[in-house]
Amino acid sequence: MSKTFHTPKQDWYPLDLSAIVYPTLQRKDFSSVYRLSVVLKEEIQPEILQQAIDMTLPRFPTYKVAMRKGLFWRFLEPNHRPGPFVQPDVKNFCMPMSFKTKGRYLLRFYYHGCRISMEAHHSLGDGNGGMHLLNTIIAVYLRLLGHKIPNGYLVLDITKEPHPEELEDAYLRYSNSKFRPPRPMEKTYRLRGTKEPFFTFHVIHGHMSTEDVLEVARLYKCTLTEYLNAVLLYALLKKQKEDKPFRELPVKIAMPVNLRRFFPSKTLRNFITMVYPSIDPRLGDYKFEEIITQVHHYMRYYINAKFLMGDITTNAATQRNPLIRIVPLFIKDYVVKNFYKRVQDRNSSAGLTNMGTLQVPKEMLPHIHRFDIYMGIPYSSRTNCAIISYNNILTINFASCIKETVVEKYFFQKLVEDGVKVTIESNRMN
């Protein structure tokens, strides 16, 4: 194997446009942490995994960092301390990740049986960047076991320097629209539930054939993402009606869009924006086919390069404002946190992210059973849904900190009604 590349020293990395928000929302029982997992076909050897992590992480300089706090902004500082260290897996994962301790990594690595899991603070990057890191670690791990694994797809060459675009804040490159769309401010249905004690994190996994779900989506004349959004909206509408509220409210899903699909960038940092497919039951009862139609046309209208450029220009305007730039950090934190609690968090009923179909070098296929993605602990009492497909296995993971599982039940029941065979697993005791 070629000698591992070590990144030249860089003094610091400014937080990207999305990353600025995540530390602001930090509290004792919440941290913007997501988890990516891979299930291999042989039991994990933790010592070899640790070696693979140590060899790979220098290739990803914006992940081998600690967070520091300045007078006006936070920033990421290269971290040369040993670690992060592989640990046995835990039941209640995605726990808050403190970055106030000097030199603390914003990454965690776990193993259990055949599973490798990586948890990352969202300030480092989105799921696309995280999946590049995890896949590269998997490839290096398999090479250390004696397998010939080439680079390609999400596996990067650890002997080469990072491309400059991998380190960029791509928002600033593309936030140059002449129009800035206003932010949606409408009050939406909030999923209520019995909050579990701190350090309790519930996950429900649904595994099924990707082709089976695609076949159903084709029957409804929509994409897989549109279909699953419609199923979640259907489940939330059903739950709201069951609540018998004094008056019904719009049901809305917060869905991240990978901007790399529309704006060329190799960035491994955050490069997503949110869209909000919704149904307003105040207009009347919706059949499932009508929900599908609404979601389909919403996606076509909003998910295009022109609208998305306007959206990220709106986001970037605040950061570029010279007056805001000189406001002390503690005031920025106070304003952003209150805006998020009063407006942004109330703008959706649930979250849904779809990583799409994951491809790996064909030499890795015989070693990997499936991938999983988890959005992590929600900011408020609700449920989040994360979807990923690999080798005709579609995995849908719901994550929440509430006891009730009504929405998840309605969601998977609808899939079964439409002819999809679903295998359910959970870390819940009942």
In CATH, the architecture of 13-174 is: 2-Layer Sandwich (3.30)
pLDDT digits (tens, 9 = 90+) for 18-60: 999 888 888 777 789 999 999 999 999 999 999 999 999 999 9
| Residue type at 44 in one-letter notation | I
What's the whole-number mean pLDDT along residues 229-252? 94
User: pLDDT at position 328, please?
Assistant: 85
| pLDDT grade for 1, boundaries at 50, 70 and 90 | very low
What's the whole-number mean pLDDT along residues 358-364? 97
User: pLDDT at position 65, please?
Assistant: 95
Task: Give the chain's end-to-end CA distance (angstroms, integer).
Answer: 48
Domains 13-174 and 202-426 share a fold: yes
User: pLDDT at position 72, please?
Assistant: 86
Tell which residue, 122, 107, 123, 115, has the closest CA to residue 57.
Answer: 107
Predicted TM-score (pTM) of this structure: 0.93
Torsion, CA 289, CA 294, CA 296, CA 301, rounded to 10: 170
Least confident of 11-20, 232-241, 268-277, 289-298: 11-20
In the predicted structure, residue 182 carries a pLDDT above the cut 60: yes
Is 156 within 8 Å of 58 (Cβ atoms)?
no
User: pLDDT at position 201, please?
Assistant: 84
In the predicted structure, residue 101 carries a pLDDT above the cut 70: no
CA dihedral for 85, 34, 132, 67, sign (positive or negative): negative
pLDDT digits (tens, 9 = 90+) for 303-313: 999 999 998 99
Average pLDDT of the residues of the chain: 90
What's the whole-number mean pLDDT along residues 368-379? 91
List the beta bridge partners of residue 354: 387
> Chain-centre distance of CA 350, in angstroms?
13
Least confident of 67-71, 193-197, 239-243, 286-290: 193-197
User: pLDDT at position 322, please?
Assistant: 73
What's the whole-number mean pLDDT along residues 355-366? 96
In the predicted structure, residue 251 carries a pLDDT above the cut 70: yes
In the predicted structure, residue 430 carries a pLDDT above the cut 70: no
User: pLDDT at position 33, please?
Assistant: 93
**What's the CATH number for 202-426?**
3.30.559.30
In the predicted structure, residue 199 carries a pLDDT above the cut 80: no
User: pLDDT at position 344, please?
Assistant: 73
| Residue type at 71 in one-letter notation | L
3-state helix, strand, coil in the chain (%, to 5): 35, 25, 40
In the predicted structure, residue 219 carries a pLDDT above the cut 80: yes
CB-based contacts of 222, cutoff 8 Å, min separation 6: 230, 292, 295, 296
User: pLDDT at position 137, please?
Assistant: 98
User: pLDDT at position 427, please?
Assistant: 82
Is 221 within 8 Å of 293 (Cβ atoms)?
no
| Residue type at 40 in one-letter notation | L
Torsion, CA 53, CA 57, CA 58, CA 62, rounded to 10: -170
193-209 burial, b if ≥16 CB within 10 A, otherwise e? beeeeeebbbbbbbbbe
Domain chopping of the chain, boundaries: 13-174, 202-426
H/E stretch holding 206: strand 202-209
What's the whole-number mean pLDDT along residues 251-262? 95
In the predicted structure, residue 3 carries a pLDDT above the cut 80: no
> Chain-centre distance of CA 385, in angstroms?
10
In the predicted structure, residue 2 carries a pLDDT above the cut 60: no
Q: Which carries the bigger pLDDT value, residue 60 or residue 404?
A: 60
What is the spatial order of strands in the sheet that 107-112 belongs to? 86-88, 107-112, 115-121, 33-40, 368-374
| pLDDT grade for 316, boundaries at 50, 70 and 90 | confident
pLDDT digits (tens, 9 = 90+) for 328-359: 888 888 888 887 777 777 788 999 999 999 99
In the predicted structure, residue 296 carries a pLDDT above the cut 70: yes
User: pLDDT at position 345, please?
Assistant: 77
| pLDDT grade for 125, boundaries at 50, 70 and 90 | very high
pLDDT digits (tens, 9 = 90+) for 63-94: 999 999 888 888 999 999 999 999 999 988 98
